[in-house]
Amino acid sequence: VKIRALIEEINTAAIAAYIVVLLSMANLPRPRNVRPQTLNTDYILKWDWDQTASSESSTTFTAQSLAKYKVKNAKRKNDWKTVCECTSEHHCDFTGAELYYLGMWLLRVRAQNESHVSSWVQIEFCPDRDAAIGPPSAVEVKPVKGMLEVAISDPLTSENTSMKDWVKDLQYIVHSHSILQKKKQLVITTNLVTLPDLETWTVYCVRVQSRYDFYNKSSTFSPIHCEQTEGQMPYWQIFLYFLLSLAVSFLLVLGLSFCFFKSFKAIKNTFYPSIQLPTHIQEYLCDSPGSDMPHLLTTESEVEICCDRLDILSCISIRLFANCTTSCYCITVVRIVDGEQEMIFCEWLQ
Q: Does residue 212 sit in the same domain as residue 167? A: yes
Rounded average pLDDT over 136-152: 93
Q: Does residue 174 sit in the same domain as residue 214? A: yes
Q: Indicate the pTM of the whole model.
A: 0.61
Domain limits for position 338? 279-349
Comparing 15 with 165, the larger pLDDT belongs to 165
Q: Does residue 14 sit in the same domain as residue 101? A: yes
Q: Does residue 75 sit in the same domain as residue 90? A: yes
Q: Give tens-digit pLDDT for 230-275.
A: 877 777 878 888 899 999 999 999 999 999 988 988 888 777 777 6
pLDDT of the residue at 103? 95
Q: How confident is the model at residue 313 (pLDDT cuts 50, 70, 90)?
A: very low
Q: How confident is the model at residue 93 (pLDDT cuts 50, 70, 90)?
A: very high
Closest by alpha carbon to 225, among 149, 137, 141? Answer: 141
Q: Does residue 6 sit in the same domain as residue 100? A: yes
Q: Does residue 271 sit in the same domain as residue 289? A: no
pLDDT of the residue at 8? 62
Q: Which of 112, 129, 146 is the last residue of a domain?
A: 129
Rounded average pLDDT over 70-83: 88
Rounded average pLDDT over 66-70: 93
φ, ψ for residue 268, nearest 5 deg: -65, -45
Q: Which of 228, 259, 291 is the last residue of a domain?
A: 228
Task: State how many domains the chain has.
Answer: 4
Q: Does residue 303 sit in the same domain as residue 322? A: yes
Q: What are the CA-CA distances from residue 219 to residues 35, 133, 135, 264, 332 (Å)?
A: 19, 5, 5, 72, 99
Amino acid at 124: E
Q: Does residue 201 sit in the same domain as residue 294? A: no
CATH at 57: 2.60.40.10
Q: Does residue 15 sit in the same domain as residue 111? A: yes
Q: Does residue 295 sit in the same domain as residue 216? A: no
Q: Does residue 182 sit in the same domain as residue 222? A: yes
Query: For residue 335, is pLDDT > 60?
Result: no
* Range in 57-66, 158-167, 199-208, 331-340 with the lowest mean pLDDT: 331-340
Q: Does residue 114 sit in the same domain as residue 193? A: no
Q: Which of 208, 228, 248 is the last residue of a domain?
A: 228
- In angstroms, the CA 144 to CA 151 distance is 12
